[in-house]
Amino acid sequence: MNRKALVAIVGKPNVGKSSLFNCLIGDKVAIISEVAGTTRDRIYGSSDLGNLDAIIIDTGGLEYGKKENIEADIYSQAILAMEEADLIVFLVDGSEQITINDDEAIKLLREKKKDVVFVANKVDRKSTEEVIHELYKCGLGKPIEISAAHNRNIEEVKESIEKKLREKGFRKIHEKKEKKIKIAIVGRPNVGKSSLTNALLGEKKIIVSDIPGTTRDAIDTELKFKNQEFLLIDTAGIRRRGKIGRKIEYWSMLRGIRALEQCDIGVLVLDASEGIVNQDQHIAGFVAEERKGLVIVLNKIDLIPDEEDRQKLLMKVKRAFPFIPWAPVVMTSALNSENIKMILDLALEIMLERNKEIDSKILTDYLQEISLYHAAKTKKSTHPKLFKMQQIRVNPPTFIIEANDPDLFHFSYRRYLERKIREKYGFNGTAIKMYIEKKKWK
């Protein structure tokens, strides 16, 4: 399959789902431009499973019985993640007996006929042997015994996930250079994604409605603009059985994540008449983490005719996304076709930036200049030194910096290096990758 697998971690509250999530995606901490500045907890991340990549989803706790308000929403979102996932990591507390919440979750997994990796956490605690024996009665096979808090047996979990995904046909994605620029149009339901797509196409190909969730799945449409071929992927909200609200927004976000993973540039559509919510920041965060290009579109700007009010709204949007200052913001009206072509013009510019290459000698000279101007500080006795920088690939622009000890460079200094590179060489509209590696002495 030519996409990353979606793996959901599910289980009752307080079994260590978030701890396991952090362990599974923890190998990406060496990369500069991690999503810093978001005020929300991350619920997804990419994991390197040896010869396979996957998107890991951290879900809220499955707790049965009477639920109200936010607890009901958390439960619904966990169920949706299970439905959408290619594989489930079912996590239980290996230090306590199976509860009704565990039993009900197991019944649900069987009903949905999902492939499962069965994991028992907290086995570093005493008196777990009897509990582990009881877990065999769950009918899910032998659980993998781990301690997420101490990073114990996490590799075994990764290997098990990789094996099951390979059995389902997933393989390592080898990127091919294509002529078409792939643009994923994402955002919450009813912000005008389908209307925007139709305006870009100049014809009404996608059903437009005021009812959230009209589009049932991602729709791919080809477009030619200034002799460049584009593939537009519209991911408007999918209507499902059950209530419309936070549940549909969560589902839309999961589908949006899948579309973004396959695109070159994401177009995040916001409703100018509404505020910015958690889901908008999550989607933007995923774009940054996956190192895609990004255009933020403030749609329905016709509802705000006053220019001063528009400028205030623009500043509000920029404050809401401090972790992606490089992303341009466009005010549009799909209804009146205002600034619609600007999106495609920006996409062309962003692809040029994503394919930009800088000579290694030039980069190294600049590295020495900026490191002398602002040297890295550390509490350790060893003085941090930077030796060389080279660009190893494009789309996305990827850089390797050689140093005496990568651990000496604080995250804030890594952000400083990225900021200086952008000031000098641009890369506007796109995320970049940057690694600091230990110098290979000859």
- Asked if 209 and 346 sit in the same domain, the reply is yes
Q: What is the pLDDT of residue 442?
A: 54
The verdict on residue 176 lying in a domain is: no
Within 10 A of 144 (CB to CB), how many other CB atoms are there?
20
The verdict on residue 310 lying in a domain is: yes
- Rounded (10°) angle between helices 154-167 and 17-25: 80
Q: What is the pLDDT of residue 76?
A: 65
Give the separation between CA 119 and CA 152, rounded to whole angstroms: 12
Q: What is the pLDDT of residue 81?
A: 73
- Asked if 81 and 61 sit in the same domain, the reply is yes
State the CATH number of the domain containing residue 421: 3.30.300.20
End of a domain among 354, 379, 397?
Answer: 354
Q: What is the pLDDT of residue 28?
A: 40
55-95 pLDDT, tens per residue?
Answer: 888 876 665 555 554 455 556 666 777 777 889 898 888 77
The verdict on residue 425 lying in a domain is: yes
- Asked if 237 and 307 sit in the same domain, the reply is yes
The verdict on residue 405 lying in a domain is: yes
Contact 282, 313 (CB under 8 A): no
Which DSSP state fits 46? E
Q: What is the pLDDT of residue 141?
A: 81
Distances in whole angstroms, Cα of residue 153 to Cα of each of 29, 118, 128:
20, 13, 16
The verdict on residue 173 lying in a domain is: no
Give me the residues paired with residue 331 across strands.
Answer: 298
What is the maximal distance between C-alpha atoms in the chain?
69
- Asked if 372 and 390 sit in the same domain, the reply is yes
- Asked if 412 and 334 sit in the same domain, the reply is no
The verdict on residue 190 lying in a domain is: yes
Which DSSP state fits 116? E
pTM: 0.68
Q: Which residue has the tokens 């005008």?
A: 192
- Asked if 150 and 205 sit in the same domain, the reply is no
End of a domain among 135, 167, 199?
Answer: 167
Q: What is the pLDDT of residue 63?
A: 58
The verdict on residue 250 lying in a domain is: yes
| Pair type for strands 265-271 and 87-93 | unpaired
Asked if residue 406 has a cis previous peptide bond (ω within 30° of 0), the answer is no
User: How many residues make up the chain in this entry?
Assistant: 442
- Asked if 53 and 155 sit in the same domain, the reply is yes
Domain count, the chain: 3
Six-digit token string for 327: 């992303």
Identify the three-state secondary structure at position 437: strand
Residue 279: left (phi > 0), alpha (psi -120 to 50), or beta?
A: alpha
- Asked if 294 and 277 sit in the same domain, the reply is yes
- Asked if 230 and 337 sit in the same domain, the reply is yes
305-329 pLDDT, tens per residue?
Answer: 899 999 999 999 999 999 999 999 9
End of a domain among 354, 386, 417?
Answer: 354
- Asked if 315 and 374 sit in the same domain, the reply is no
The verdict on residue 55 lying in a domain is: yes
Q: Exposed, middle or buried, 390 (CB in 10 Å: 0-12/13-18/19+)? A: middle
State the CATH number of the domain containing residue 89: 3.40.50.300
CA dihedral of residues 207, 213, 217, 221 (deg, nearest 10): 40
Q: What is the pLDDT of residue 32?
A: 34
77 phi, psi to nearest 5 deg: -70, -35
- Asked if 335 and 373 sit in the same domain, the reply is no
Cα–Cα nearest to 257, from 282, 294, 276, 231: 282
Give the separation between CA 6 and CA 256, rounded to whole angstroms: 12
Give the separation between CA 341 and CA 229, rounded to whole angstroms: 14
Residue ranges in the chain modelled with pLDDT below 70: 1-2, 27-43, 60-78, 124-132, 137, 173-178, 203-219, 234-256, 441-442
- Asked if 221 and 295 sit in the same domain, the reply is yes
Distances in whole angstroms, Cα of residue 203 to Cα of each of 157, 184, 200, 326, 389:
49, 18, 8, 31, 47
Give the separation between CA 388 and CA 250, rounded to whole angstroms: 43
Q: Which domain holds residue 422?
A: 360-438
